[in-house]
Structure 1
């Protein structure tokens, strides 16, 4: 593909010499037919030595390279270019004879279903969906247009998945929530009779779990992205465009507002509310409601400034302990001298 053609596809202006582009790579590793990018000024010096055929960069750097695509946001526009060159997973089209599809399921003619996938009674598989090998699609599940269900996913009965959603390998959507009543020291299971809804353009990472509601619905808001190995408990709801990063856990009935970010291994207790745009740092422990726009970290959770200050003090604790011990010895010595004078 010519650089000029790529520029037209992703809506950028080309500067310099037109040339053939066959792929993308980093500034360090890109070759003469590959496109790279400069998104951080600290890597500007790499422009002088890179072998990349062309660079996506801001206009102020364009005179340093032979060929460029001019961008106000190089990282975002590189992502657009990656969509052009990305090859979709899979090698089959249509419905394979070794897939099991219940006679009362409704699978669109344009969908692809791989061998050994299971599609249950009453399920509806929308146009251009892909259901890979080993996937389980339970009774009355709805997949909106263009969904991709990767190998060995389990989409349990009654789950509703919107347009363009992606469920990565091994994820479980709609498994039972963790609900038990204590009876004479024993644990009696509470049936989880609600559902799960993934709104449009949601992505669920590999081996993540989104549990079905005890009652009503567990809902992941449109555009939200759930990373690998995340646990979303029963009756949790998120707003649009949330990011929940690897190994985080959100306990039952907690509500996330729009655009909330939970960094890796954050843990949220049940029945709290996280306001729109809040950012929770890695390994944070969140036990109370969080206001909109809050930024914080730590366990228990602290506001960002307080967390950073406490981190500084924490590193000084060994020295402070030594000084405190020395002061205690001096005080005891002074007290001993004073008692002698008395």
Structure 2
């Protein structure tokens, strides 16, 4: 698609400088052509403004006069997301319900929803207005899919799961699989049926191949606006608050509570029954257990204040081999002193 710069500026509620032009796409400062818009978010790349071929640059006020045309923004990253949405091509090419999908006669699928070939929608399931169910998706019995949801190929919504409005499941996401519950017996590990549900609130996105387990008896809940990256595991009975960012390969153990606006960076491990307060930020590969106060900035395994961890990692850990050699040398010297000391001396007694 193409859009006039003036129309794009009006659509985003931004001012623009320079003459009008047609914009056909968005690209980086290095790769953009004369008919594309680019962006400057980080000032360290400002030198690229001198060489970019972009027809227009989305940037903040101080840099607008360095290019022939600019869209002037007070929040460049946010407005970049809006610009990309203008040019993004939606996934999919069909509408309506395919004759090659299985839709149980007791399911209720809104007439405006799209169900692709080889999707399965079980008895008693509800699919809301304008939702899209791609090929290979499984929507279990008595589950609820809200309005404007997108279930990409091979996403799984097991029976009794509730998705709010505008929920996105990326390919291979599984919501409502059994939680990890076993009783140890003399005859082996006996499976404990997981008969609770999962409730995913509005505007949540769940990344590819991530898994959210159903509760043992009650509800696993993902709060409104939370964004979950690829390859994340959330255990049974976990309560995740609103507007959290849970980044790749995080694992959250059963019955843990994660407050609102929490950020868990990649590969954070959260033990069972942990309690993470609102607004906490946990650094990558950290190990979390117990109670974490709201607003904490932590890193390491086990977690510690991020500044302490960075000092230890930056100054102490690289010196460990040298310190080990020095300790070994001191031990050798001490042994020699003790050996040379006269018998019965203070040195020998020590």
What interval of TM-score do these two structures reach, taking the shorter chain for normalisation? over 0.9
Equivalent residue of 2:58, what SS? strand
Alpha-carbon distance in 2 for matches of 1:281, 1:293: 13
Alpha-carbon distance in 1 for matches of 2:247, 2:16: 36
Corresponding residue number in structure 2 for 1:5: 7
Corresponding residue number in structure 2 for 1:293: 295
Q: CA deviation at 1:337?
A: 4.0
Matches within 5 A, 1:10-21: 10-21=12-23
The C-alpha deviation readout for 1:246-287, integer Å capped at 9, x for no partner, is 111001000000011111111111011000011111111112
More deviation, 298-307/247-256: 298-307
Q: Aligned pair 1:324/2:338, yes or no?
A: no
Corresponding residue number in structure 2 for 1:35: 37
The C-alpha deviation readout for 1:42-77, integer Å capped at 9, x for no partner, is 111100000011001111111110000001111111
Alpha-carbon distance in 1 for matches of 2:255, 2:194: 13
* Pick aligned residue for 1:146 from 145, 148, 151: 148
Alpha-carbon distance in 2 for matches of 1:333, 1:189: 62
Alpha-carbon distance in 2 for matches of 1:331, 1:176: 60
* Pick aligned residue for 1:105 from 100, 104, 107: 107
Aligned length: 342
Q: CA deviation at 1:300?
A: 1.3
Q: Aligned pair 1:305/2:307, yes or no?
A: yes
Alpha-carbon distance in 2 for matches of 1:309, 1:38: 32
Corresponding residue number in structure 2 for 1:116: 118
Equivalent residue of 1:78, what SS? helix
Alpha-carbon distance in 1 for matches of 2:175, 2:223: 14
Alpha-carbon distance in 2 for matches of 1:307, 1:111: 50
Change (3 A) 1:289 1:341: closer
* Pick aligned residue for 1:230 from 225, 229, 232: 232
* Pick aligned residue for 2:139 from 125, 134, 137: 137
Matches within 5 A, 1:116-195: 116-195=118-197
Corresponding residue number in structure 1 for 2:97: 95
Equivalent residue of 1:181, what SS? strand
Q: CA deviation at 1:339?
A: 2.1
Alpha-carbon distance in 2 for matches of 1:205, 1:144: 18
Alpha-carbon distance in 1 for matches of 2:311, 2:5: 49
Alpha-carbon distance in 2 for matches of 1:329, 1:110: 81
Alpha-carbon distance in 1 for matches of 2:266, 2:240: 17
Alpha-carbon distance in 2 for matches of 1:338, 1:182: 60
Q: CA deviation at 1:341?
A: 10
Q: Aligned pair 1:278/2:280, yes or no?
A: yes
Corresponding residue number in structure 2 for 1:52: 54
The C-alpha deviation readout for 1:123-157, integer Å capped at 9, x for no partner, is 11100000011101001111111000111111000
Alpha-carbon distance in 1 for matches of 2:19, 2:340: 87
Alpha-carbon distance in 2 for matches of 1:146, 1:341: 87
**TM-score, normalised via structure 1 length:** 0.98
Q: CA deviation at 1:305?
A: 1.6
More deviation, 211-220/285-294: 285-294
Alpha-carbon distance in 2 for matches of 1:172, 1:270: 20
Equivalent residue of 2:22, what SS? coil
Alpha-carbon distance in 2 for matches of 1:197, 1:230: 17
Q: CA deviation at 1:340?
A: 7.3
Alpha-carbon distance in 1 for matches of 2:328, 2:169: 57
Alpha-carbon distance in 2 for matches of 1:331, 1:142: 73
Q: CA deviation at 1:183?
A: 1.4
Alpha-carbon distance in 2 for matches of 1:268, 1:326: 40
Corresponding residue number in structure 1 for 2:79: 77
Q: Cα RMSD over matched residues?
A: 1.2
Corresponding residue number in structure 1 for 2:338: 335
* Pick aligned residue for 1:216 from 203, 215, 218: 218
Q: CA deviation at 1:206?
A: 0.6
Alpha-carbon distance in 1 for matches of 2:335, 2:183: 57
Q: CA deviation at 1:185?
A: 5.0
Mark the runs of 5 or more structure 2 residues left unpaired by the alignment: 346-350
Alpha-carbon distance in 1 for matches of 2:67, 2:311: 44
Q: CA deviation at 1:299?
A: 1.2
